[in-house]
Structure 1
Amino acid sequence: MQVDLVIQARWIIPVEPAGQIFEHSSLVVHDGRIIDLLPAADAAAKYKPRQLEILERHALIPGLVNCHTHAAMSLLRGIADDLQLMDWLQNHIWPAEQKWVGEAFVRDGVDLAIAEMLRCGTTCFNDMYFFPEIAAQQAVQHGIRANIGLIVFDFPTVWAENADAYLAKGLALHEKLRHESLLSLSFAPHAPYTVSDAPLRSLLTYADEMNLTVHMHLHETAHEVEEQRQKTGQTPLQRLRQLGLLTPAFIGVHMTQLAAADIAAYAETGAHIVHCPESNLKLASGFCPVAACLAAGINVALGTDGAASNNDLDMVSEMRTAALLAKAVAGDAGAVSAATALRMATLNGAKALGLDAEIGSLTVGKQADVAAIDLSELETQPLFNPLAQIVYAADRRQVSDVWVAGRQLLKNRQLTTMNLAALNERVAVWQQRLHS
């Protein structure tokens, strides 16, 4: 049988079913989808590929899902380090955005982010930022999968003047993009302290009608929770639950401030959590109790946050940090295993976005979103367990090849849809502007 692509690898770690690692096997891809996973010798006898990739030193994993990004903020990487969240936002980031953010800023920042993400094995990102139409355009141009957030604030910004305008522009963008195969959309109200009840009720109505997820920063800091409690007599979680937002279509990002009762109540709603450990550590925002959330049955995914607060978009590193931090917070070395960390970075992210029927595992019938990691480097020797080695020892520079829907976007560390020299020139111009 003739097929488009066969990838033969030393190991294939499909994530689903859990615990499986296939040795000396092949992934068979046709029309952008996985049609078989079988021993390499059997694949050679059964299939005639138009393209054959033999990766004898590599592990194949599902493409990583970065479930919370502000992609364009890559241009603000390192502009305001070592500060608390509200100081960082109010005195540095928001003024810089007010001065510089526009279509060109977002285009170049998103291109920089896409290049970085592909080079660390990320095949899908969930974005929240201004000019979402530009982020969508660049994602399509470069072939990466993306969930584009239709951002909402109460106050005017460079993209819209009030909550009604954000919603109107978001609805128009949804209509324009809803048939793009690599794109999905969600409503992205920024946070409880920047969006009031009326627009939240409106977007919930639209989200229900259009079957969209809602993606929001929530319980990110103790200050946020206490300020809302003093103003309204409720925590942000209590307020959002009363408004009806906490459903299986809701994604709460950060969630560092959770008591046992909060975890139990959140679990009842079926809502998801995106854990951003490195950003939370850098901003001293607190610790998401990941092990307790997982034990309660909450789906917990991973995100990097923006490069302005991380300061990278490296999901390989994020897996390691998530696993190690969870052990320390829970006081239990088995709290989040390597396998759980990989699942959080792949299938759990896909589930949060409502994409788990299409991506998140190397399962027959799913889209062929795949990353290959070269485990032959000195730093990953000796090798006893390839899955554990990826999470605890590998570096993003060992990601050699990436496919999205069967299309190769990274080949032997070289991007196939982007001119890095030209991108670096554009970034250098922004560095000069932002530094002036």
Structure 2
Amino acid sequence: MPSITLNQKLSKIPENISLADPEFHRPADVDILIGAEFYYELLGTGKIRFPGQSAILQETDLDWIVAGRYTQPRTAPISPMQASCNLIKFQDLPILWELEPENPNKIRSREEKECESHYVKNTTRDDSNRNVVKLHFNNKKDSLDDSRNTAFQRFYALERKFEKNPSFKSQYTECMQGYLTENHMSLIPSHLVSNKGYFLPHHAVVKESSITTKTRVVFDGSAKTSTGISLNDTLMVGPTIQEDLFSILARFRTFLYAMTAGIQQMYRQIRVAQDNSLFQKILWRPDPSEPIKIYSLNRVTFGTACAPFLAIRTLHKLADDERESYPIASAILKRDFYVDDLLTGAHTLQEALELRNNLSTLLNKGSFNLRKWASNHPLYAMICRMKPQLRTDPSTRQKQ
């Protein structure tokens, strides 16, 4: 596509040529991008050059196209001009895509400031060093009303799906059992059950391409109560505090030793304060012959509006808390994570190994586990998959 309109009369295109795009001389939106796997299959053998131009007419299966550099003929005399250039060393140039440091005075909305202040004041660590956060409600909290009926209707609909697909039921039950086994949800005794708070409907998201868990349980914080207000309507979302994906990917491509990993169940490694758990109640039973029981989710829950901010902010807090002990890993934790996915690297194998070990140790201090390591270097990828003692034992590493 040209950036300015070209004079088509000056192109001198033969009359017997049928163009794939008769309006090639006008700037317009791109309709389709054709990848390299198909592009060369479309090319024909015909080629015609424009007189005095480097642009050509190229035959394709889609008719002829104009390709290459086309210089608009000038109608006015060209003024002479002199130019000079100096050669400089590449390493003296700054990285062109490097971003400026984050401005601490970045303008934020009143709600975003409240979210940050609320997080700082109310986040603690329990005896196991796990972070405990509180949900941040807005002024619509008192408008929450009955959510129990909707939760029951959705749960009965889920059980009807179980009847039609036993395999799906088995996978879903396994996921819910994981919540119980790992103490990520707790049974509410019958004498303490009330309609206060909020019942979260839940359903499954199936991802066949996943190499770990193909069926995941998703909780619906946007389900309306009898007043038309949902839990998500009452929660403050929080500011975006992670780097944009383009910057992370651009930096990722500069490393000689690139590596990726993911935090296992990141949201579920962060506890929610006990007095907030009544807003994360769910219905569950593994079999229709059993009575439906009411549980409360005691971890940050995917499907609630504030979950992304709470999770990412907790990672940043961990980086700040451990900056003195792990300065490089702490910087990477705040810079090279997109939600729970790590995209980083190093320029030497030794640096990559140290970074891998320090990141794992740092995240373990916040009860997070990095897994699914991968690298562009086969030796490094092999080391990442080793057991921790093999990676840290110098004698073992030397033998390998």
Q: TM-score range by the shorter chain?
A: under 0.3
Higher RCO (CA 8 Å, separation ≥ 6 residues)? 1
Q: Normalising to structure 1: TM-score of the pair?
A: 0.20
Q: Normalising to structure 2: TM-score of the pair?
A: 0.21
Q: Which entry has the higher C-alpha Rg, 1 or 2?
A: 2
